[in-house]
Amino acid sequence: MTSWKNNVRNVIPYTPGEQPKKKVIKLNTNENPYPPSPLVGKAISDVSMDSLRKYPDPNCSSLISAIAKYHGFDDENIFVGVGSDDVLAMSFLTFFNSDRPIFFPDITYSFYDVWADLFRIPYETKALDEDFKIVASDYASDCGGIVIPNPNAPTGVAEPVEFFEKIISAHPECVVIIDEAYVDFGSESCIDLVRKYDNVLVVRTFSKSRSMAGSRIGYAVGSKELIKYLSDCKFSFNSYTMDTVTLAAGVASLEDDEYFKARLADVINTREWTKGQLEKLGFSFPDSKSNFIFAKHSSIPASDIFEELKKRDIYVRYFSKPERISNYLRISIGTEEEMQQLINTLKEITN
Ligand code: PMP
């Protein structure tokens, strides 16, 4: 007898970082340690009960216009979604519809292969070199699409715009997605390439640099044609992706650029301080341009350090696979005090 199980879409899901219930020093999910702008709080409390009675704006016009204005694009160049995970998932579904494989690095955001499997998109991973850098020549052949984070995660390694322009210009046959989740922390953005190439989609998030992981706001910037295809898929799936409160919160965040830039500077300064401290303790790492450091110790296995830190209520992220990164810890940048406490604890552990 055949079973209903033969008809199930059977997938292995992405595992998000742990969100412990107790109070810990939480350096495991690349959240921003600072709260969002006070204007965000005000915008949320100003949302009327009556507006919650109604459906939200399915076109997300207020947030789209605010993002378009912020980056100097037209509204038709912007797509928004429930975090950049939603934007990326919708982009995979929309643009990666070829029999040819899509390409992405072997060490990268571990959601890419999950979406590829979910949507039955063939894919090939391309190995990073021994310094965890992307090898451009690996991306030269015709393919079904390309997706690369810049800076890459979990390595934090960034490449300049020219590096991506070569890839994008060589691939008119497919869409190239640049995932800029961490770009605000000090690497070059490919956003201006959107003005020149109709096959590049730049994906961004409010979760990291704007301290709004809990609001779930992501967006894509692309040619008007790409954005139209993306919107058509979204409206074939769920009209009301963004809620009224979140739309208001997102607009308010963009209105407070001074606060945004000040908090970015705080995170970047703390990251640079942490790099120096980690080196003194025998850690090495590729140079990170993001809000995390991907570090290994000269003698103590990463899994041991991970467990020891956890026992002391300091959470970092450890990926046991693939083998090549199984001796690294991904440490998100917290406040100055949190990083000082991390370093003090690491001193104890490594002694
Ligand atoms: N891209 C990369 C490279 C990430 O690390 C993350 C965070 N997990 C995301 C996208 C998704 O972030 P969000 O859905 O919070 O915007």
Q: What is the pLDDT of residues 274-300, one digit of tens each?
A: 999 999 999 999 999 999 999 999 999
Residues of the chain with pLDDT > 70: what percent?
Answer: 100
* Cα–Cα distance, 180 to 148 (Å, whole number): 9
Cβ–ligand 1 contact at 139 (below 6 Å): no
* Cα–Cα distance, 27 to 269 (Å, whole number): 16
Atom of ligand 1 nearest to the CA of 88: 10
Cβ–ligand 1 contact at 334 (below 6 Å): no
Cβ–ligand 1 contact at 218 (below 6 Å): yes
Give φ, ψ of 302 to 5 degrees: -60, -35
* Cα–Cα distance, 195 to 221 (Å, whole number): 10
Atom of ligand 1 nearest to the CA of 16: 8
Cβ–ligand 1 contact at 149 (below 6 Å): yes
Coil vs helix vs strand at 25: strand
When pLDDT is averaged across residues 197-213 and rounded to a whole number, the result is: 98
Q: What is the pLDDT of residues 30-45, one digit of tens each?
A: 999 999 999 999 999 9
Sequence-separated (6 or more) residues with CB below 8 Å from residue 113: 104, 123, 125
Atom of ligand 1 nearest to the CA of 82: 14
Q: Is the per-residue pLDDT at 126 higher than 90?
A: yes
Q: With bands split at pLDDT 50, 70 and 90, how would you rate the model's confidence at 17?
A: confident
Q: Residue 283, CB half-sphere, CA atoms under 13 Å: how many?
A: 26
Burial of 109 (0-12, 13-18, 19+ CB in 10 A): buried
Measured in angstroms, how far is the CA atom of residue 84 from the centroid of ligand 1? 6
Whole-prediction pTM: 0.97
